Amino acid sequence: MGDTSEASHDLAQLAKLAIAGQAEDVRLFVARLVRKYRSQEPVLAEQLDLHLKAKPSRAPSPLRKLPPPPTSQQGLPVDDESRLSLLKVLKDAPGREAPLLAQGLEETLEQLIQEHQQIKRLTSLGLTPTRSAIFVGPPGVGKTLTARWLAAQLQVPLYVLDLTAVMSSLLGKSGSNLRAAIDFAKREPCVLLLDEIDAIAKRRSDDTDVGELKRLVTVILQEVDEWPATSVLLAATNHPELIDPALWRRFDLVAHFNLPERTAIKEAVKRFLGPDYALFTRWIDILSFAFQGYSFSDIERDIQRFRRALALGTASDKGLVEDFIKARTIALDRQDRIELAVLLAQQTRLSQHAISDITGVSRDTIRKYTSTPIANAKKKITSKRG
Ligand SMILES: Nc1ncnc2c1ncn2[C@@H]1O[C@H](COP(=O)(O)OP(=O)(O)OP(=O)(O)O)[C@@H](O)[C@H]1O
Ligand SMILES: [Mg+2]
């Protein structure tokens, strides 16, 4: 199964190179296939090797056209062969809503903004502002969003470098593509985001040319070192363990983005509900509890779903929340289920029967915890957690 998909991948890559008329790259690729298949498919490897030797090494291909200049209409650099844009540009108004961030992180980023807004003051004192930062955290917690917000705050464009597009370029070209993209970004003050910087490391486990990937890392290392103080170079990753230690050290700042805590979840629920907030007031605490362990983007997705159903009139707020809680309780431990049941009993008019049905907590247990005042019930549950 794995073999078939690998072979398909190789075939597709070969076709791509051949159709593009890149004879030299085809030869390099075939040479690599010979090495790769030598032990598993010796006959195939030998045949490929024969073809390789039979063909003159530098036959100009009639299909080959002169490469177009490495810029697109908007002046953004593109890969010669695929014409894929290597950089995406995003320009947001400075009034953009700030991402919801943990307090420490918010303060760190505020300081970074200040440093760039008051760069003259810093330089007059012989100091340089933070030039680079790496954002670390699970998916959907605001790494990309924060990069956008930072750029908007600094009133500069945000360029996002598509490392996958860089790596899909022809053999030997990814390093120069990367340099071209970064050089382009360096021309004016900006925020450049190297999104999913671990993509390079991930590819190392592939059959991809290790030398090529090493070159890419070297280019990034140099570029981080030479990055101008008037711009901010950001990198984002979900996999800090895959980042080259040499690269890791180069960044001025490491910013950790975590899954939201309960208060941030509540803020997020309010924000994502927007004008439908009023309709959900009685469910806010319950939803905030149930969304624990979710990323912001997962919370947003569920809330958008609620809002669409309400807009279309296909469900009620009560029905939506009940269904959501029912599905959610499966993943909760017993103490969390009880806490949720107590919240439902205290904050909604649902019957104990309905609550038991939704949460799977027996009516006796619900009664036991709700017969005491709220504060005591909470204490009781938390003391049980031990
Ligand atoms: N901290 C946050 N505050 C407000 N909204 C957020 C936050 N984090 C994520 N979101 C919402 O989720 C969406 C996706 O977030 P974003 O793309 O920034 O995640 P990410 O951390 O870059 O994830 P990935 O690692 O998958 O790239 C955002 O566009 C926004 O709507
Ligand atoms: Mg992202």
Domain spans in the chain, listed from the N-terminal domain onward? 2-54, 87-256, 262-385
**Mean pLDDT across the chain, nearest whole number?**
85
> How many other CB atoms are there within 10 angstroms of residue 138's CB atom?
12
Report CA 277 to chain centroid distance, whole Å: 28
Atom of ligand 1 nearest to the CA of 138: 25
Handedness of CA 362, 364, 369, 370 (dihedral sign): positive
CA 126 to ligand 1 centroid distance, Å? 36
Q: Is the pLDDT of residue 267 over 80?
A: yes
Atom of ligand 1 nearest to the CA of 148: 18
Output the furthest CA–CA distance in the chain (Å, rounded). 89
Distance, CA of 129 to CA of 104 (rounded, Å): 19
Mean pLDDT of 220-244: 92
- For residue 135, the ligand closest to its alpha carbon is 1
The pTM score is 0.77
Give 164's pLDDT tier (boundaries 50, 70, 90). Answer: confident
Q: Regarding predicted confidence, which is higher, 55 or 201?
A: 201
Residue with tokens 């008329």: 21
- For residue 147, the ligand closest to its alpha carbon is 1
Strand-pairing partners, residue 194, are 161, 235
Give residue-wise pLDDT tens across range 172-214.
777 888 888 899 999 999 999 999 888 876 665 555 567 778 8
Q: Is the CB of 144 under 6 A from ligand 1?
A: yes
Q: Regarding predicted confidence, which is higher, 62 or 213?
A: 213
Alpha carbon nearest to ligand 1 atom 7, residue:
142
Give the fold, CATH level 3, of 87-256. Answer: Rossmann fold (3.40.50)
Residue from 145, 162, 301 to probe ligand 1 pocket by mutation (most atoms less than 8 Å from CB) = 145
Q: Is the CB of 101 under 6 A from ligand 1?
A: yes
**Is the CB of residue 168 less than 8 Å from the CB of residue 207?**
no
Q: Is the pLDDT of residue 228 over 90?
A: yes
- For residue 148, the ligand closest to its alpha carbon is 1
Q: Is the CB of 238 under 6 A from ligand 1?
A: yes
Residue from 103, 300, 302 to probe ligand 1 pocket by mutation (most atoms less than 8 Å from CB) = 300
Distance, CA of 194 to CA of 178 (rounded, Å): 10
Q: Is the CB of 269 under 6 A from ligand 1?
A: no
Alpha carbon nearest to ligand 1 atom 8, residue:
142
